[in-house]
Amino acid sequence: MRRRYLVTGGAGYVGSHVVAALADRGDEIVVIDNLRQGHRRAVLDGARLIEADLSDSARLDAVLAEGRWDGVLHFASLSLVGESMRQPFRYLMENAMAGIGLIDACVRHGIARFVLSSTANLFGSASGGPIAEDVAIDPGSPYGESKWMIERALLWADRLHGLRSARLRYFNAAGADPAGRLGEDHRPETHLIPLVIDAALGRRPPLEVFGDDYPTPDGTCIRDYVHVTDLAEAHLLALDQLDARSVTYNLGNGLGHSVLQVIEAVERVGGRRVPYTVAARRPGDPAVLVAASDLIRRETGWTPKHADLDHIVRTAWAWREKHPDGYGN
């Protein structure tokens, strides 16, 4: 039977790729997004977009009352680590209130499945080795803390009301829909790969490398860049688990790449030099964040198909070249 999902933040970067993956397999999708960060054009034909804020609880109730839902996927969020260090209480209040309010509404409307877009920022003090789900939680920022608050609320929703959930902690989401339909367009853009590409295309000033004195082989930070389409696939597989129980998965390729290695990949793929300067460290950046994703691989058979860094960059480059202004105004 055709399944029906409500997706908050479905006009955003990861959310829009998940909507596409669900729609591609024939599910019916309703997106709720305030379009403050999301883009109308990121919601592909076939999905319905409701422009509304999650703080509008009457509207949310009305949407949830519209018939049967097979689940809710929650992406809508303030999501900039650095900004959250400057506006901690805005992040804690807005993200936690939206998330917990949504969980409460799901319980009241008898929704059985919930997927949370969570983050590797929960592991702010991890020591450098691959990070599995049982590594101690110590959010690196108020942004990460706000996601942890929602994860905790989901635990209680399961215990007290039987709402099953998947808590998916992404490492560094990257790349673009290989079919070219969707891409990454944050305003302002703060993420490494789109910034490096725009520096290579001469559309921005030289990239600033935030610190080259970290305890890593080349001195720059190491991250686990995971293709957004592989992340989307993980959501589909995690949803299937929710018939039996709640799950928590760390999502990455298990491969670490330094900032300089990302620059080299962009130079290989784009055939242009990337101008850059070395700048001070960015507050809150851990030296190394790499996922151990054995659990989701073992339990669902998830296998990233786009793990190669050059391939990730190629998909991002292709979208950016075709859409120099992203989704436009």
* Residues acting as catalytic residues: 143
Minimal distance, residue 47 CB to ligand UFG, in Å:
24
In the chain, beta strands by DSSP E: 4-8, 28-33, 48-51, 71-74, 113-119, 164-170, 172-174, 207-210, 222-223, 225-227, 247-251, 257-258, 276-279, 288-289
Q: Residue 39 or residue 113: which is nearer to ligand UFG going by CB?
A: 39
How far apart are alpha carbons 161 and 165 in whole angstroms?
A: 12
Taking the alpha carbons of 20, 114, 142, 139 in that order, is the dihedral positive or negative? negative
**Residue in 99, 96, 117, 106 with CA at minimum distance from that of residue 16:** 117
Minimal distance, residue 227 CB to ligand UFG, in Å:
14
Going by the DSSP 8-state scheme, the letter that residue 283 receives in this structure is T
Taking the alpha carbons of 218, 220, 223, 229 in that order, is the dihedral positive or negative? negative
Q: Write out the residues near ligand UFG by the rule CB under 6 A.
A: 79, 81, 119-121, 171-172, 190-192, 195, 207-210, 221, 223, 259, 282, 285, 289
Q: Residue 117 or residue 300: which is nearer to ligand UFG going by CB?
A: 117
How far apart are alpha carbons 266 and 252 in whole angstroms?
A: 20
Q: What is the number of the residue whose Cβ is closest to ligand UFG?
A: 221
Helix (H) or strand (E) holding 16: helix 13-24
Q: At what angle do helices 259-270 and 309-322 cross, to 10 degrees?
A: 60
Q: Residue 105 or residue 222: which is nearer to ligand UFG going by CB?
A: 222
Tokens (6 digits) for 102: 């949504």
Strand partners, 222: 258, 288
How far apart are alpha carbons 89 and 141 in whole angstroms?
A: 11
Q: Residue 5 or residue 13: which is nearer to ligand UFG going by CB?
A: 13
Q: Residue 14 or residue 47: which is nearer to ligand UFG going by CB?
A: 14
Minimal distance, residue 121 CB to ligand UFG, in Å:
3
Minimal distance, residue 110 CB to ligand UFG, in Å:
32
